[in-house]
Copies of this chain bind each other. A is one copy, B any other.
Amino acid sequence: MSGLAFDLGTTDGAARLGRLKTAHGSVDTPVFMPVGTAASVKAMTSEAVAETGARMILANTYHLMLRPGAERVAALGGLHRFMNWPGPILTDSGGYQVWSLAELRTITEEGVAFRSHVDGRRHMLTPESCMEIQRLLDSTVTMVLDECTDYPVKAEEAARSMRLSLRWAERCREAFVARPGYGLFGIVQGGMYDDLRAESAEGLKAIGFDGYAIGGLSVGEGWPTTSKVLEATVPHLPADRPRYLMGVGKPEDIVGAVARGVDLFDCVLPTRSGRTGQAFTRRGPLNLRNARHAEDPRPMDVDCGCPACRSYSRAYLHHLVRAKEILASMLLTWHNLHYYQELMVGIRSAIREGRFAAFAEAFAAEQARGDIEPV
């Protein structure tokens, strides 16, 4: 059944090394996927994304179906050629964006009807059309269509929505055209309710997917809730398949989720923060807009090898942020993506060497030290 090989390597507690083998190359897990919403990781060329160490990226089905359109992307040779990213691409199903961006949503058993936020045109997304759109995009990893709910949500509504998503997942599995090196992931829903999460996970496992995502988090619930949901969900997922925590998160959340057995991550934080003057560093976050950087000749992180840290001072980056120069977004995005990839390298080394708990502890201590005194 499976189109995607996933070789599980060393484990260290619940943390695990793996290798996902796809039609577009292999990826070592745990992996972080930068977000390329509209077929562009914002403020980065695809070559630059690869230089940060990224091997797999995410693109948004919702945005791409509206503009430039899945048929057009297919006519141009698929998403990989279109955006010059030969590596694996995971596309989300569009369900989350319909919920958060589209207008006049109407959800029925059939699917979800909505108006485009780009041009107001009406669209319908069904499990079947969702599979077809992602096939046209040539997604390496296709996600099932799911319904998203508000946070917080009552148990009854969470259960109704999760069961609708399960029925949609089954239709997605039916409609998905399997090809070697391509895969389909199910998405566990169920709000913050352990029993619903378990029911969702077991239901998806019974259908059978190439991988299992944990959805409906990263909606403002905070890490304590996220970790609780992970602990209630992961034991119900098959050990031999990749697990993907959608939309998470801060560096410390990624470390915490790896400790709970998660293999794949995506998040807009490094790219979005880069466009607002925020940098992630070993010593915790830096706000380059802050006046304390105005005369600081040091790089953001002396040990970082990214172009921003190699060639530019905090004073210069501060100036670029204040002057609203595009280069500020470019350099800080590059740095943040580099930081996230280095974090994943560190995580994988620690698991390989059986010292993940110590790594997580040292990571937390270094983040807490802050960056007040000179590096």
Contact = CB atoms under 8 A, between A and B. Distances in A.
A294 B72 contact: yes
A22 to B, nearest CB: 21
B311 A46 contact: yes
A307 B295 CA distance: 34
Contact of A312 (B68, B84, B316): B84
B44 A315 contact: no
A303 interface: no
B67 A327 contact: no
Given A76-B297, A77-B297, A295-B75, A43 B316 contact: no
Identical copies in the complex:
2
Given A316-B82, A316-B83, A42 B72 contact: no
A312 B315 CA distance: 34
B83 A330 contact: no
Interface of A: 38-40, 42-47, 63, 67-68, 72, 75-77, 82-84, 275, 294-295, 297, 307, 311-313, 315-316, 318-320, 322-323, 325-327, 329-331
27 contacts: A38-B319, A38-B323, A39-B316, A40-B320, A40-B323, A42-B325, A43-B326, A43-B327, A45-B311, A45-B327, A45-B331, A46-B311, A47-B311, A63-B323, A68-B315, A68-B319, A68-B322, A75-B295, A76-B295, A76-B297, A76-B313, A82-B315, A82-B316, A82-B319, A84-B316, A275-B326, A330-B330
